[in-house]
Amino acid sequence: MVVLSVEQPGHPVDRAPADGSTGGSWPSKNNRQAAHESLNGGDSDLTSADLPDATGLRPLSVSEGVSLRDECVVIETENGVRVGVDGLEKEDRPEGDRRARSWYSAVNQWRDWMDSPIYQSGHITFENGEGETVRTTVENSYMESYSSRYYARLKDLERGVKRRFDDVTTVMLTLSASSENAEGGRRCPADHMREIADGWDTARKQLPHILEGYNYCYGRIWEPHQSGYGHQHVAVFVEDADGQLAADDFRPFMNSYVGDTPGAGSEAHSVDGDAVSLNDDVENMGSYISEYLGIFGEEALERPITEQMFYATAWATNTRRLDFGAAAQEIISGEQFRRETGLRPEDRGDCETESKGDSGGSQGGDSEPGEPSEQWEVKRLCTVVSKSRDHADPETGGVRTTVIDGSSGVDPPKWVV
């Protein structure tokens, strides 16, 4: 049976609360104060004061052209009324400027989404060509139950790399940026995240030159800082039989990233510091990478508030926390096929192509590698009421997003040298 989900970040995350208290998690939804957010229409009730360092009222983004989930966008009308766009068809939306919600409101929206009926009692119904049906519970990538999927994918990559490469060196590249803007305030988190992603998009073009002649592949992981802002790790697995690679080889990569990312700074991304690390003695790559990803532990709604802030930003921007380059996806796909069929890729008529490197892969990445050996079609998405098998058929379209209008000068990035 093929089980699909509705959808689609080494140092483990420090899970201590940012306020220095000893409590390890945030109170769950059934133990909170009265609601304060008039526009969200849900049950969550965090206030701006619940987020640290005066970040609660920061909008997710003030950059023109940024696409956010509808739940995180409001329209400011000429008469000063703010209207949430979620649930409104485009033709029914009033005239006005499209603005991002504040960070605390976005966290409330994400928490309500996590606690929505489809994830509490929802099922997907599958049907094959013979009319047989099966059902599975609905998951999203922030649920602890989804961790096994991430881990299985990482283990497939581990097995495939060990099968194809000799004497693997694991290179960890860490990309971050200051969360302070040029005016001394806190950055808008979605703009901060996008700048890191854009810096990576430019810097990754250096990898084929740095690793020319090597077999390699990579995966990217988003991870939260204790502040609630995100940073990115790039794990590069290189066949380095002679042990020739050194941290200094990645200086062009880091120079490119620093030159393209305002808040990066050369000191924080020095090849002589923690930004570049090489390890030729990683026995369990799956566990090594999963520590950075932080996939095991408490349920997402029980994590520290700063982690929830990061999750809400990733959710609002449709950012995948785990992504693989093209060569890594090919390796994972081959290992999945071996596991499902017991066959090698060449046994199904395909030829394994020897790739000298990883050309990048989709920015959205994180897709399920490989094709199922038996084809099942998703027939309906349903919500199960109590223990009844009756269900309703809600609309099952993709994520709805809205492009926001910019606000110049509100969040100028600070260039760090």
Lowest mean pLDDT among 67-71, 155-159, 196-200: 155-159
Confidence of residue 346 (pLDDT cuts 50, 70, 90): low
Instruction: Answer for the pair 35, 43: CB distance below 8 angstroms, yes or no.
Output: yes
Beta bridge partners of 27: none
Tell me the pLDDT tens digit for each residue of 236-253: 999 998 899 999 999 999
Q: What is the pLDDT of residues 31-45, one digit of tens each?
A: 333 333 334 445 678
Give the pLDDT band (50/70/90) at residue 345: low
Q: How far apart are the first and last CA of the chain?
A: 54
Residue 393 has pLDDT above 50, yes or no: no
Q: Strand order in 122-128's β-sheet?
A: 133-137, 122-128, 376-383
Contact assessment for residue 3 and residue 123, using Cβ atoms and an 8 Å cutoff:
no
Q: What is the pLDDT of residues 176-185, one digit of tens each?
A: 999 999 999 9
Here the tokens at position 65 are 């052209």
Answer yes or no: are the C-beta atoms of 157 and 151 closer than 8 Å: no
- Torsion region of 69: left, alpha or beta (phi above 0 gives left; psi -120 to 50 gives alpha): beta
The strand pairing partners of 279, in sequence order, are 170
Which residues, other chains included, contact 189 with Cβ-Cβ below 8 Å and sequence gap of 6+?
55, 58, 60, 103, 228, 229, 230, 309, 310, 313
What's the confidence (pLDDT) of residue 382?
58
Rounded mean pLDDT of 300-328? 95
Instruction: Compare 331 and 347 and report the one with higher pLDDT.
Output: 331
Give residue 404's pLDDT: 96
Averaged pLDDT for residues 372-383? 56
pLDDT at site 388: 34
List pLDDT tens digits, range 263-309: 999 999 999 999 999 998 887 888 878 887 776 778 899 999 999 99
* DSSP code string of 214-269: --EEEEEEEEE-TTS-EEEEEEEEEE-TT----GGGGHHHHHHHHHH-TTT-TTTT
Distance between CA 240 and CA 34 in Å, rounded? 58
pLDDT at 283: 77
- Whether 90 shows a pLDDT value over 60: the answer reads yes
Residue 21 — very low, low, confident or very high, per pLDDT cuts 50/70/90?
very low
Which residues fall within 8 angstroms of residue 404, CB to CB, at 6 or more apart? 61, 63, 64, 65, 66, 67, 68, 73, 98, 99, 100
Tokens of 117: 């009926």
Cα dihedral across residues 315, 330, 175, 155: positive or negative: positive
Q: What backbone torsions phi and psi does residue 111 show, to the nearest 5 degrees?
A: -65, -40
d(C-alpha 319, C-alpha 365), whole Å: 9
- Round the CA-based radius of gyration of the chain to a whole number and report it: 22
